[in-house]
Amino acid sequence: MNFASINQTKFGYISAILAALLFGSVSAVAKPSLITIHPILLASLVYFLASLVATPLISKKNSSISFKDKWLLLTIAFSGAVIGPMLFFTGLENSSASNSALLLNGEIIFSVFLAILLFREKITTIGYLAVAIVIAGVILVTTDMEFSYSVFDVRNQGNFLIIGATLFWALDNNLSKILSTRLDIARIVQLKSLIGGSILLLLVFLLQIPINIELEHLPNILLLGIAGFGASIFLFLQGLKRIGTVKTIMIFSTSSVFGLIFAAIFLQEQISHVQIIAMGIILTGIYLLYKKQ
């Protein structure tokens, strides 16, 4: 492995970590806004902002898109920027933030198994062990060893919708990995977010959803669109392109750890000993995954 490829790999890991950091803030930031803003309207605004974030980062190289890639991009946009966020924000409105944090881990499981089963991504025995360790740690950190029957009860509409969102985001992750080898990543984020935001806005008008945005929620909306989705999607795709789906998803799973840190700093929530142990477990799994490479 030459020096250039080593630097590309390191950049992939750093991108994945930063994406996890930014996405870790999403549930805490979005929940207060959903009190007055309809989920579909919020999703539309967030993805329009994500598109604006990606626009200045677009490279002039590889600007043309083939007919085949246009259909792939549309599929990615529908799954990851229309259906996924619509299900997630609607589910978050009807579920608790803690339940949401737990159920979002479905994206990790769905992404890894789609990568292995459908896209034949290879993973070693140590890799499987690392995957298991990270998933175990994420479950531990989000549940704090307090399992509630209602969390897994799909009769709860909010929980069911969040699980559905993770499946569509997992499909988006794997398809984006393919497209990122042929198209500029910032361009993917821009077009995907613009298509998704436009379709969601069209739904707002068709469903006659009231557009009532209070000034006090503007900082939250800007933070969600610019950092939580725009920057995190861009960095996430950088990780996918350079280190693969499985490794990127494993690192991205630390978003739940960052979620705890944000809760402690901004919401003055206490971090338990169990959660600290879980952080150590997650970092151990990521270390095994990194060292094996």
The residues, ordered by sequence, that sit 6+ positions from 263 with a Cβ below 8 Å of its Cβ are 28, 269
Report whether 162 contacts 30 (CB < 8 A): no
Residue 53: both structure tokens together: 């974030």
Q: Who has greater pLDDT, 103 or 7?
A: 7
138-143 average pLDDT score: 65
Backbone φ and ψ for 142, nearest 5 degrees, come out as: -90, -25
Whether residue 142 is predicted with pLDDT greater than 70 in this model: the reply is no
Give 165's Cβ-side CA count (13 Å radius).
Answer: 23
Number of Cβ within a 10 Å radius of residue 8: 15
Burial call 216-254: b when 16+ CB within 10 Å, e when fewer: ebeebbebbbbbbbbbbbbbbbbbbbbbbbbbbbbbbbb
Residues 15-61 have pLDDT tens digits of: 999 999 998 888 888 888 888 899 999 999 999 999 998 888 887 66
The pLDDT value recorded for residue 89 is 94
Give the pLDDT mean for 165-179: 89
CA 245/CA 274 separation, integer angstroms: 29
pLDDT of residue 3: 43
DSSP string covering 28-58: HHHHHHTTTS-HHHHHHHHHHHHHHHHGGG-
Average pLDDT over residues 219-230: 91
pLDDT score of 150 more than 60 = no
Give 73-114 as a 3 state SS string: HHHHHHHHHHHHHHHHHHHHHCCCHHHHHHHCCHHHHHHHHH
Neighbours of 287 (CB within 10 A): 12
How many CB atoms lie under 10 A from the CB of residue 138?
26
The whole-angstrom separation of Cα 92 and Cα 163 is 11
Q: Report d(CA 58, CA 183) in Å as an integer.
A: 10
The dihedral through the CA atoms of 23, 281, 102, 264 has a sign that is negative
Per the structure block, which two tokens stand in for 96?
Answer: 């608790």
Q: Greater confidence, 205 or 251?
A: 205
Q: Band of the pLDDT at 156, cuts 50, 70, 90?
A: low
In this model, does residue 149 exceed pLDDT 50?
A: no
CB-CB contact of 239 with 15 (8 Å): yes
Rounded distance between C-alpha atoms, residue 86 and residue 89, angstroms: 6
Helix (H), strand (E) at residue 275: helix 273-292
Q: What is the mean pLDDT of residues 62-75?
A: 83
> pLDDT for 72-128, tens place per residue?
999 999 999 999 999 999 998 887 776 677 677 777 778 777 877 776 667 677 777
pLDDT at residue 72, as a whole number:
93
Give the pLDDT band of residue 65 (cuts 50, 70, 90).
confident
For residues 72 and 278, the model is more confident at: 72
Q: How long is the chain?
A: 293
The pLDDT of residue 74: 95
- The count of other CB atoms within 10 Å of the CB of residue 212 is 10
The per-residue pLDDT for 204 is 96
Average pLDDT over residues 177-203: 90
Q: Please compute the mean of the pLDDT values over residues 255-270 and round it to a whole number.
A: 76
Q: Using 50, 70 and 90 to split pLDDT, how confident is the model at 269?
A: low
- Provide, rounded to the nearest whole percent, the portion of the chain with pLDDT above 70: 84
